Amino acid sequence: MAYAMLSETERTARKRHRCIWCWQFIEPGQRYHDERSVNDGEMQHHKWHPECRAAMLAEVEAEGGPIEWIPGQERPPAAQAERERGE
């Protein structure tokens, strides 16, 4: 599996998006993580709630490598992302 991260950016939503992890909406005015990558030759553009991205990264670390999931995972409390960022 060939994977390459192209860009990662923290943004404030100007319109409604869907989080790739929990599949809930990212509402205008909310902060989110914007990620563009290539996986096996396929372009990907994912948007994450900060706490959902933190949960994904924790799962990747626990598994010791890439994971696969189905969108619609449980959305963790926002406080989890703040703790992991050291806020």
Per-residue pLDDT of the chain (87 residues; tens, 9 = 90+): 588 889 999 999 999 999 999 999 999 999 999 999 998 899 999 999 999 999 989 988 998 887 877 778 888 887 555 555 554
| Structure token pair of residue 2 | 């060939």
pLDDT of res. 73: 84
64: left (phi over 0), alpha (psi -120 to 50) or beta: left
Please report, for the chain, the start and end positions of each structural domain, with discontinuous segments joined by +: 3-78
Amino acid, res. 16: R
CB-based contact 17:23 (threshold 8 Å): no
**Among all chains, which residue has been given the structure tokens 């989110």?**
32
Report CA 74 to chain centroid distance, whole Å: 13
Confidence (pLDDT) at 71:
77
pTM (two decimals) = 0.77
CATH among 1.10.10, 3.30.1740, 1.10.405, 3.40.50 for 3-78: 3.30.1740
**Cα–Cα distance between 48 and 34 in angstroms, integer?**
7
